[in-house]
């Protein structure tokens, strides 16, 4: 195993780097898109249920099917990392838009009412009161989305770009156990570290939630 | 002064919440809106800061129609306290209080300094400043709610059932503190409650509303108790209104006789100690001074084993006693005049 790592450190590191990139860029993009989309589901209450349904349908599309289908829609090459990024961004939005909506809906009505009565306008109330109060729920959703993305990237290996997933495909093709084990361990480690980082951020920015 | 001019509120769907309401809430006084649920008291309150818009009619503050003013700016100039306080859970106590000063463009430092003083004013030790609302009891949260409403020193304050979510002991304590605070500050306050006792205790004026948002009577607490406008008001203020009205009358003019005229009263150095009764000596439960109300005197006379209320001066020395039949005569004469 050590021997394998020594001989292939460049390959493994490149795979790890690609894995991180393919998993985290969609998390960021998805988060940025999900915030306004989720807010719409709260601002216009009739939009909430359609939003939840569309998110549910999107999330249920098998990832491999999406990876193969997207080049047709986007006009990208089948090996373009863009396919993976777009696909995982769609999943992230599907997960987080609902979380953002649920988080904002979880804000106590009295708190919103008090904010309005103090003289907050709508936008500032959203930024100063609603989003911070919804943050524990939103960050919980972000943890799920991040871990899900890290595991989904590996599926991309079946179409030729999948970070650590490529270690699995290579191992299977060569009947060679080491890369498979390294791939699995690193994926799990990556997910655990990413999760831990979000938990630490959550503790730092929402000290009141533990009060 | 807050003026309601023929205000009507009809909700879509047809329910009339407020029906041709006209009244004036005097400057520097506390007016309590009270009535059963569905009487439109909260709706009326919320029309003052435009949380609800009237269907017709006008609401004015110091002669200025509120509907012509920017909602957010108007509200920053009006303190607002609600049931359960409605504090921001993600902000410390201090930053909750600093909310409106910050909205008004004060620096964080200025806002916090002013807020710290206010916390002390509402009876919260400064070490509470850094806590979060979830770490406070209901009564403490309500105090923070009051401090937050006062932070920008608004001339007008609205209070929606501010004391109804705390237990009776804490509520009585908050009442006393709030009355003292209002004596210093002299804000123009509109408060909503469903509790007539609270209304009578706190209000300089009380507006009783009936179902459907009709004003049944507007007056001082004593006017409502002494001369209820109709059956509804009479039953709403309660069957003991005669006795309760006495709490607004001074005991200063009650006719007393010298303490020596009673053989039942045991004095020691002029101070009342005990009653001499057939079953032995009984300690005196209470005394009154000229500053007390007739209700206290009546209560003392009724509860004394010999039917006598004892008056003391500022030094606790007995300077007169009232027998219960003399008290009743006095009350009858007062009523007749």
Q: How far is CA B136 from CA A203, B75, B89, B144, B159, in A?
A: 21, 26, 11, 10, 20
Instruction: Say what the pLDDT of residue B165 is.
Output: 82
Q: Do B89 and A133 touch (CB under 8 A)?
A: yes
Q: Element (H or E) spanning A160, and its range? A: none
> Global pTM?
0.81
Whether B84 and B141 have beta carbons less than 8 Å apart is answered as yes
Spatial separation of the C-alpha atoms in residues B277 and B203, rounded to whole Å: 42
Instruction: Say what the pLDDT of residue A69 is.
Output: 86
Residue from A58, A22, A55, A26 nearest A41 by CA? A55
Q: Please, which residues bridge with residue B56 across strands? A: B8
Q: How many angstroms separate the CA of residue A87 from the nearest CA in chain B?
A: 35
The minimal CB distance from A208 to the residues B89, B99, B158 is found for B89
> b/e per residue, B225-257, with b = 16+ CB within 10 A?
bbebeeebbbebbeeebeebbbbbbebeebebe
* Residues in A touching B132 (Cβ below 8 Å): 207-208, 211
Map out the domains of chain B as residue ranges: 2-248, 259-336
Enter the tokens of residue B7: 């205000």
Instruction: Say what the pLDDT of residue A10 is.
Output: 85
- B130 inside 8 A of chain A by CB: no
Q: How many angstroms separate the CA of residue B211 from the nearest CA in chain A?
A: 25
Averaged over A49-63, what is the pLDDT?
Answer: 93
For chain A, the residues whose C-beta falls within 8 A of a C-beta of chain B are 108, 110-111, 113-121, 129, 132-133, 135, 206-208, 211
Instruction: Say what the pLDDT of residue B288 is.
Output: 92
Q: Please, which residues bridge with residue B267 across strands? A: B272
Instruction: Say what the pLDDT of residue B34 is.
Output: 95
Chain A residue with Cα closest to B50:
A117
Query: Does residue A133 register a pLDDT over 80?
Result: yes
Most confidently modeled range among A56-65, A147-156, B21-30:
B21-30
Span A63-72, pLDDT tens digits: 888 888 888 8
For the question of an ipTM over 0.85, the answer is no
Q: Do A114 and B135 touch (CB under 8 A)?
A: no
* Residues in B touching A202 (Cβ below 8 Å): none
Whether B254 and B238 have beta carbons less than 8 Å apart is answered as no
Instruction: Say what the pLDDT of residue B1 is.
Output: 93
Q: How many angstroms separate the CA of residue B205 from the nearest CA in chain A?
A: 24
> What's the CATH superfamily of B259-336?
CBS-domain (3.10.580.10)
pLDDT in tens, chain B (337 residues): 999 999 999 998 878 999 999 999 999 999 999 999 889 999 999 999 999 999 999 999 999 999 999 999 999 999 999 988 899 999 999 999 999 999 999 999 999 998 999 998 888 998 999 999 999 998 899 999 999 999 999 999 999 999 888 888 989 999 999 999 999 999 999 999 999 989 999 999 999 999 989 999 999 999 999 889 999 999 888 878 888 888 888 888 898 998 888 888 888 888 888 888 888 888 888 899 998 999 999 999 988 888 899 999 988 899 889 999 899 999 888 877 7
The minimal CB distance from B88 to the residues A111, A135, A211 is found for A111
- Other CB atoms within 10 A of residue B288 CB: 22
SS3 labels along chain B? CEEEEEEEEECCCCCEEEEEEEEEECCCCEEEEECCCCCCHHHHHHHHCCCCCCCEEEEEECCEEHHHCCHHHHHHCEEEEECCCCCCCCCCHHHHHCHHHHHCCCCHHHHHHHHHHHHHHCCCCHHHHHCCHHHCCHHHHHHHHHHHHHCCCCCEEEEECCCCCCCHHHHHHHHHHHHHHHHHHCCEEEEEECCHHHHHHHCCEEEEEECCCEEEEEECHHHHHHCCCCHHHHHHHCCCHHHHHHHHCECCCCCCECHHHCCCEEEECCEEEEEEECCEEEECCCCECCCCEHHHHHHHHHHCCCCEEEEECCCCCEEEEEEHHHHHHHHHHHHHC
Spatial separation of the C-alpha atoms in residues A194 and A206, rounded to whole Å: 18
Instruction: Say what the pLDDT of residue B79 is.
Output: 95
Averaged over A61-84, what is the pLDDT?
Answer: 86
Whether B163 and B171 have beta carbons less than 8 Å apart is answered as yes
Q: B2-248 belongs to which CATH class? A: alpha beta
Interface with B, mutate which of A112, A113, A114 (most B CBs under 10 A): A114
The minimal CB distance from B86 to the residues A114, A119, A132 is found for A114
Would you say the C-alpha torsion A179, A183, A185, A186 has a positive or negative sign? positive
Q: What is the β-pairing status of strands B30-34 and B205-210?
A: parallel
Spatial separation of the C-alpha atoms in residues A58 and A66, rounded to whole Å: 10
The minimal CB distance from A110 to the residues B86, B91, B100 is found for B86
Size of interface A-B (CB pairs under 8 A): 65
* Residues in A touching B99 (Cβ below 8 Å): 118
3-state helix, strand, coil in chain A (%, to 5): 90, 0, 10
Q: Domains in chain A and their CATH numbers? A: 2-210 (1.10.3720.10)
Instruction: Say what the pLDDT of residue A120 is.
Output: 96
Instruction: Say what the pLDDT of residue B64 is.
Output: 93
Chain A residue with Cα closest to B49:
A117
Averaged over A109-130, what is the pLDDT?
Answer: 94
Q: How far is CA B244 from CA B60, B197, B292, in A?
A: 34, 10, 14
Instruction: Say what the pLDDT of residue B210 is.
Output: 92
Spatial separation of the C-alpha atoms in residues A64 and A70, rounded to whole Å: 10
Enter the tokens of residue B212: 């459907």
* Residues in A touching B88 (Cβ below 8 Å): 111, 114-115, 129, 133
* Residues in B touching A132 (Cβ below 8 Å): 90
Q: Do A118 and B75 touch (CB under 8 A)?
A: yes
The minimal CB distance from A111 to the residues B83, B89, B131 is found for B89
Residue B117 sits at the vertex; the CA angle it makes with B111 and B119, to the nearest 5 degrees, is 100
Whether B145 and B180 have beta carbons less than 8 Å apart is answered as no
Q: Do A116 and B51 touch (CB under 8 A)?
A: yes
Whether B99 and B148 have beta carbons less than 8 Å apart is answered as yes
Spatial separation of the C-alpha atoms in residues B120 and B131, rounded to whole Å: 15
Chain A residue with Cα closest to B158:
A117
- B135 inside 8 A of chain A by CB: yes
Instruction: Say what the pLDDT of residue B232 is.
Output: 92
Residue from B156, B85, B86, B155 nearest B122 by CA? B85
Residue A184 sits at the vertex; the CA angle it makes with A180 and A188, to the nearest 5 degrees, is 170
* Residues in A touching B83 (Cβ below 8 Å): 110
Instruction: Say what the pLDDT of residue A167 is.
Output: 83
Q: How many angstroms separate the CA of residue A126 from the nearest CA in chain B?
A: 13
> b/e per residue, A176-188, with b = 16+ CB within 10 A?
eebbbebbeebbe
The minimal CB distance from B82 to the residues A110, A133, A208 is found for A110
Q: How many angstroms separate the CA of residue B43 from the nearest CA in chain A?
A: 14
Using CB atoms within 10 A of its CB, is residue B337 exposed (0-12), middle (13-18) or buried (19+)? exposed
């Amino acid at each position: 195993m050590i021997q394998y790592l020594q001989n292939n450190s460049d390959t493994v590191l490149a795979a790890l780097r690609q894995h991180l990139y393919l998993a985290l860029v969609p998390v960021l993009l998805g988060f940025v898109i999900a915030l306004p989309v989720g807010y719409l589901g709260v601002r216009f209450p009739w939009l909430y249920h359609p939003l939840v349904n569309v998110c549910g349908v999107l999330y249920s599309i098998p990832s491999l099917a999406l990876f193969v289908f997207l080049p047709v829609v986007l006009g990208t090459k089948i090996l373009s990392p863009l396919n993976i990024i777009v696909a995982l961004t769609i999943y992230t939005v599907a997960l987080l838009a609902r979380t953002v909506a649920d988080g904002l809906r979880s804000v106590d009505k009295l708190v919103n009412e008090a904010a309005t009565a103090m003289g907050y306008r709508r936008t500032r109330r959203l930024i100063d009161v609603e989003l911070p109060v919804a943050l524990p729920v939103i960050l919980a959703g972000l943890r799920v989305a991040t871990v899900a993305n890290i595991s989904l990237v590996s599926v991309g290996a079946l179409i030729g770009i999948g970070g650590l997933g490529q270690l699995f495909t290579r191992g299977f093709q060569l009947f060679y156990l080491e890369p498979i084990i390294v791939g699995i361990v690193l994926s799990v480690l990556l997910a655990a570290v990413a999760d831990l980082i979000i938990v630490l951020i959550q503790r730092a920015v929402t000290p009141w939630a533990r009060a | 002064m807050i003026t309601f001019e023929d205000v009507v509120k009809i909700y879509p769907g047809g329910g009339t919440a407020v029906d041709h309401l006209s009244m004036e809430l005097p400057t520097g006084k506390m007016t309590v809106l009270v009535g059963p649920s569905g009487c439109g008291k909260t709706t009326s309150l919320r029309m003052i800061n435009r949380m609800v818009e009237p269907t017709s009619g006008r609401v004015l503050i110091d002669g200025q129609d509120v509907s012509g003013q920017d909602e957010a700016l108007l509200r920053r100039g009006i303190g607002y306290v609600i049931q359960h306080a409605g504090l921001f859970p993600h902000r410390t106590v201090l930053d909750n209080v600093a909310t409106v000063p910050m909205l008004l463009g004060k620096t964080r430092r200025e806002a916090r300094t002013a807020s710290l003083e206010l916390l002390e004013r509402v009876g919260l030790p400064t070490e509470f400043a850094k806590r979060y609302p979830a770490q406070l009891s209901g009564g403490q949260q309500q105090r923070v709610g009051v401090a937050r409403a006062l932070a920008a020193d608004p001339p007008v304050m609205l209070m929606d059932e501010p004391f109804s979510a705390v237990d009776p002991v804490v509520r009585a304590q908050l009442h006393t503190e709030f009355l003292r605070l209002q004596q210093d500050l002299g804000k123009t306050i509109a408060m909503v409650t469903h509790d007539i006792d609270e209304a009578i205790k706190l209000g300089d004026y009380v507006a009783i509303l009936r179902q459907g948002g009709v004003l049944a009577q507007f007056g001082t607490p004593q006017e409502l108790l002494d001369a209820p406008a109709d059956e509804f008001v009479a039953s709403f203020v309660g069957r003991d209104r005669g006795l309760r009205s006495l709490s607004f009358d001074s005991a200063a003019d009650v006719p007393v006789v010298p303490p020596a005229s009673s053989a039942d009263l045991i004095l020691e150095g002029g101070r009342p100690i005990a009653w001499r009764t057939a079953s032995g000596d009984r300690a005196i439960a209470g005394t009154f001074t000229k500053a007390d109300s007739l209700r206290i005197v009546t209560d003392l006379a009724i509860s004394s084993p010999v039917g006598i209320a004892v008056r003391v001066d500022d030094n606790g020395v007995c300077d007169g006693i009232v027998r219960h039949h003399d008290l009743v005569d006095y009350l009858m004469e007062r009523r007749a005049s």
